C-alpha cells in the first residue's frame, strides 16, 4: 500500500518555473526537502555564512510550516559548506535557530568544492516528521 504524497508549496520558497525538482514533499507524516540555499537573498546582499545559514533554516521552517508542522518537527540536517572553516558560523546559527529545543536535529556537515552560484557558502537538506517534536523531548534513551 503506497502512502499519499503531496507537493509542499509556500510563497516564501518559490520553485523556479520549469524546475525539474520539488522543494519539498509530504510523504505520509514525513517532510523531505531538497537542498535549500540563501539564493536570491545572497545575490542582493553580501551575506556571511552565519546569515546565509539563518536564511536557509528559515526556508526550511517555512516549508515545514506549509506542510502543517513546526520547527520542532525538523529532525535531520545535511549541511554542505564551500569552506569548512565556516563550520563554527553554521554551528552558531543552528544553536540560535533551534534555541529552546530539548534536543537538536541530527546533522551531517561536509565540505564541497562549489555550490550552484559562486556567492553561496552553505546548502542544507532537511527532513521533518510531523509526528515528533524535538522541542519537548523529555528523555533520550540509550539503546
Asked whether 90 and 47 are in contact (CB, 8 A), the reply is: no
The candidate with the shortest Cα–Cα distance to 29, out of 125, 126, 131, 127, is 131
Q: 30-53 as b/e, with b when 16 or more CB fall inside 10 Å?
A: bbbbbbbbbbeebeeeebebbbbb
pLDDT tens-digit profile, the chain (143 residues): 677 899 999 988 988 888 899 999 999 999 999 999 999 888 888 899 999 999 999 999 999 999 999 999 999 999 999 999 999 999 999 999 999 888 999 999 999 999 999 999 999 999 999 999 999 877 666 66
Where along the chain do its domains lie?
Answer: 34-129
Q: Compute the 3-state secondary structure of the chain and give helix, strand, coil in percent, each to the nearest 5.
A: 25, 25, 50
- Contact (CB, 8 A) for 101 and 134: yes
Range 34-129 classified under CATH 1.10.15.40: no
Mean pLDDT of the chain: 93
Amino acid at each position: 500500500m503506497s502512502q499519499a504524497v503531496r507537493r509542499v508549496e509556500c510563497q516564501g520558497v518559490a520553485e523556479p518555473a520549469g524546475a525539474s525538482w520539488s522543494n519539498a514533499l509530504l510523504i505520509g507524516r514525513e517532510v523531505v526537502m531538497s537542498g535549500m540555499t540563501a539564493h536570491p537573498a545572497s545575490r542582493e546582499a553580501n551575506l556571511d555564512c552565519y546569515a546565509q545559514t539563518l536564511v536557509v533554516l528559515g526556508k526550511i521552517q517555512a516549508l515545514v510550516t506549509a506542510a502543517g508542522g513546526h520547527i520542532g518537527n525538523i529532525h535531520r540536517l545535511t549541511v554542505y559548506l564551500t569552506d569548512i572553516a565556516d563550520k563554527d558560523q553554521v554551528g552558531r546559527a543552528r544553536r540560535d535557530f533551534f534555541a529552546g529545543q530539548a534536543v537538536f536535529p541530527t546533522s551531517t556537515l561536509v565540505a564541497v568544492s562549489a555550490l550552484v552560484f559562486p556567492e553561496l557558502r552553505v546548502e542544507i537538506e532537511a527532513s521533518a516528521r510531523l509526528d515528533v517534536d524535538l522541542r519537548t523531548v523529555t528523555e533520550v534513551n540509550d539503546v
